[in-house]
Chain A
């Protein structure tokens, strides 16, 4: 079993190579993309089954000695992440297939490589290898970002690429400092090193700083708001669920293993992440299009998720992990449902949309459920996530952070209602008018429109709604049947609080 772990990386890469040269038929290309996606989901589910009781599986690549080989490790946390990311990749692929975007020649290979990078980053137990896999997931993203081919995409792409490269370089510099001090980059050997040596801690500080930039923590969040509004809805949904979340995963993992949860530094995190929650949500309320509202929200939610690691109590970590999984699902659902509207009606501007609740009841249902979940309302997963997280904050005596989290959830609802009212309830501004692209208001900075030549009242096709609906259903499932995810999160958190199982699995073999 252990030796099969690298297949999660190898198979998508092979598939990408195949799809690069495979010109047709279209159904075969689609089938290949979806099959690999579904395979990864199945593999992830198996991993969850295997690790849910606390087992950790590790495999030294190439069967070299520990400390020499790159280890691939899976525990409950990484298995959970693999499964969730695989689900998102599959669902977003379905959406892309439904909207026809997947038929762009290089779309599928890029998505597959992206997924390989994600799985690699989640599974590797080596700091430098983590850097490599982060690049493997980033570089296809650059292409996916600009593949839509608008000027806005190129501009957003510039910001995204440059910030990502700066961050990756910083990350690598951190790795260099760690190797310079500790003489190893293998996580097992680095276990607890930062708590013992302030020098290792400083080096890891650089690494964590880079990860925080990748996670779009305030005040280094601006790039996200600019670049995630540029690409197509499917791509934004994919990014939202993968990129920042892999960075967050790494923060959790590295802080737990290398810092051993050192509590003397946690106040910084609590402070920063509280500010992140607040700034993100305020930014969201101020925006005027579905996508930009949701993108600002991501930042706010990232604050919530990272608050879990900043608490570093068993309950806090569990809450954070629960929140992480919940947020990945729900955020993608929101991007996909608003994206479906954007795809069909050609705009995401609130004042150019309206009345969709009546015209697209399924879409409305998918959006509303996810929106309420995001705002932390029952019976959706967001409620459980918020409940446990804020309770953990109270339990840890972090009153201010808890208060901020409560207030922010109200503003979150406010911004979600802004979309709801603007897109689904308000009067359709173009009722009775021609549904072509509005004249004049479409500046160079506006997201690309696809309405040219669209029929007057197109309507969202069921296949386009389905992905968002599925994810909202998953969120509802995680709310009503939250026990499953809570148990997994608890198991994942247990390995972060006490890393000995993880470290033993990585080092002694």
Chain B
């Protein structure tokens, strides 16, 4: 088994863990934070997939993913705080 595959499995498993937190909470803050993890996981998955498939162009995708994570994190924080800035 390719070591990158192991890494992929690890990241995907982490995302599943986070998904569990999203569903169970208990607080909205927990859900928000866990959601963030899922989006961070995207970065990892895309990067690892790029390594696995030998697709150099995923670098752009990774950049987009990180941006995704950043914006999402801030939005979720706003949501948790009920819109409070």
Q: Do chains A and B touch in the complex (CB under 8 A)?
A: no
